[in-house]
Structure 1
Amino acid sequence: NCTNRAPFPTLHLLREESVERAVASEGGDADAIVERNLQTLRDLGVEGWRALMQKA
């Protein structure tokens, strides 16, 4: 699942307040964030994803 992939090992430090704000921006639907990320990857396609990974 490329939505959870980083080009390098990454440690994510998430503040609870920031996560709550992000979920609230989607009307309280955390799954909407995941769906939006998946759609972005579908729109990019394989070549778009490869181009992003090469920039990293």
Structure 2
Amino acid sequence: MYCLQWLIPVLLIPKPVNPALVNTHVMFMVLYLIGFFLERKPCTVCSVVFLAA
């Protein structure tokens, strides 16, 4: 799971309480995850474990 050590903080980022900011939060998370997977190219097993979490 060494390849996913930079994704652990993603699981700890709280969702915004204000409903108007949810779309921005979702867009940020999607773009961050896409950028991470394109840059780091983690192994398949670690990716499945992260997506299951």
Bin of the TM-score, shorter chain as denominator length: 0.3 to 0.5
Q: Which has the higher relative contact order, 1 or 2, with Cα contacts under 8 A spaced 6 or more apart? A: 2
TM-score normalised by length of structure 1: 0.35
Structure number with greater Rg is 1
